[in-house]
Structure 1
Amino acid sequence: MAEETSLRVYGGVEGDERQAERRMQLIEAGLDILGSDSGDASLTVRGVCKQAGLATRYFYESFAGRDALAIAVYDHVIEEMATTTLAAVTAAPAEARAKIRAGLENIARTIAADPRRGRLLFSVALTNSLLLHRRVHSSRLFAGLLGDQAKAFYGISEETDIEPTTQFIVGGLSQTFTAWLDGTLELDQRRLVDRCTEIFLAISELRPAPSGRSH
């Protein structure tokens, strides 16, 4: 039993915990590479291990190959973005402008503070077919989250189909952030959030009539 324990625990850290730490090191290293100007073209097992400062054998304890890592990196960024944005919206005052602005500010602040995330999510230079498919999936995810929030806030019936509107908003917002990050859209962060908030509010006026709730 003592021998088994010594194999499982090293330096006071459980083996599973050490593996989770190494996995996160590899994800961060993958984000460094995928979020660089060269992007997914330069993502290799050897390169990401060198970036993470880990031996190659540790890569394969968490990932089957470079594609599996790329997907894990993308999903990690999306999950973090979705979680923090939803938290910002939930914490904002119960007023449409405040909630819309809180969500938009969180997204803009996140991608401005860490350009790697911005390039991974919005750069047109991304060519990895798996990640491009992931972008489509994440757009649907955010459209769904937006729809859930809108239905709850405005008292819209669950049977009401607002997906065309939410897909339109998410697609337009994605293109706006793409243009902002590549410099085509010359606005500072505050003005960007201001304009997008006004657009969101204008579109919200087209929503279906609430069922049993007024604002």
Structure 2
Amino acid sequence: MEGSRRSGERVAGRITPASGRYGGRTAAERQAERRRRLLEAGLELFGAGPGYRGTTVTALSQAAGLSTRQFYEEFRTLEDLLAELHLQVNDVAEQTVLAVLPELDDLDPIDRYTAMFRAYAAGITGDPRHTRIAFVEIIGVSPRLDEQRLARRARWVDFLCAQADAAVARGELAPRDYRLAATAFIGSINGLMHDWAVGWVEASLDQVVDELLHMLLGVLRAPAGE
């Protein structure tokens, strides 16, 4: 009959029953878009604006162009959003390192570790907002986020130890337990990058990266037993 609409046919401005689409996107796509906008707003406000402690749900929602109701549909608290951002910025650094590994097989351990660390530094500092979230904003927020932060540090320690053990097996490094040295080095990264990011260290980023690299190479060059 003319003028009638079949079940599931789209009506402007309404969800179609058959597809669940609105404006050409599914509910899942719209939710993913909201979450992306909230995370981008959090990255900007936490990483370049007033910081995590200076941001409210209302301000973040407004920055994302969303309502506070929409925020609470995606996150319970601002801490949850910060936790997700912290994992994301670490994942970026990790993927940057993993991407260069296949190119390093034929290098000696010093050149290999140099390339790996410079890849890590590029991944974690390529966006200054990532640096601030990874080394400043995450500190002292809650026991839960302290546990998450330490878990990611432990993951980097495990990675360094695995690379060192592989070099020992190839006869490239002196046999020793590298875990203590790796833990100390990762701690140095976090401490120095925090102090640099908050302005307590007067140095360029290149100087900071070079200093940390000197520390790493000193560990690798140390004879067994030292």
- TM-score band, normalised by shorter chain: 0.7 to 0.9
Partner of 1:167 in structure 2?
183
The structure, 1 or 2, with the larger RCO (C-alpha pairs under 8 Å, 6+ apart) is: 1
Q: Write out per-residue CA displacement over residues 84-118 of structure 1, whole angstroms, 9 at most, x where no aligned residue.
A: 22223443453223332223223333444322111
Amino acid at match of 1:172: S
| Counterpart check, 1:71 vs 2:83 | yes
C-alpha RMSD of matched pairs (Å): 2.9
2:152 counterpart of 1:144:
no
Partners of 2:61 and 2:89 in 1: how far apart?
Answer: 20
Which runs of no fewer than 5 residues in structure 1 stay unpaired?
210-215
Provide the C-alpha distance between the structure 2 equivalents of 1:74 and 1:113, rounded to a whole number of angstroms.
15
Task: Determine the C-alpha separation between the residues in 2 that align with 1:117 and 1:72.
Answer: 12
Based on CA coordinates, which of the two structures has the bigger radius of gyration?
2
Percent sequence identity over matched residues?
Answer: 28
Distance of 1:190 and 1:40 partners within structure 2: 27
For the 8 Å contact 1:39–1:126, the answer to whether it is kept is: no
Q: Distance in 1 between matches of 2:67 and 2:137?
A: 32
Q: Which residue of 1 aligns with 2:145?
A: 131
1:83 aligned to which of 68, 89, 95: 95
Which moves more between the two structures, 190-199 or 69-78? 190-199
Would the aligned equivalents of 1:97 and 1:197 in 2 still touch at CA under 8 Å?
A: no
Give unmatched runs, 5+ long, in structure 2: 1-6, 9-15, 171-175
Q: Under a length normalisation based on structure 1, what TM-score does the superposition of the two structures give?
A: 0.78
Structure 1 equivalent of residue 218 of structure 2: 202
**Counterparts of 2:213 and 2:95, CA distance in 1:** 20
Cα distance between partner residues in 2 of 1:70 and 1:142 = 20
Q: 1:91 to 1:126 in 2, by over 3 A?
A: same
Q: From the superposition, tell whether residues 199 and 138 of structure 1 become closer, same or farther in structure 2 (CA, over 3 Å).
A: same
Aligned residues: 205
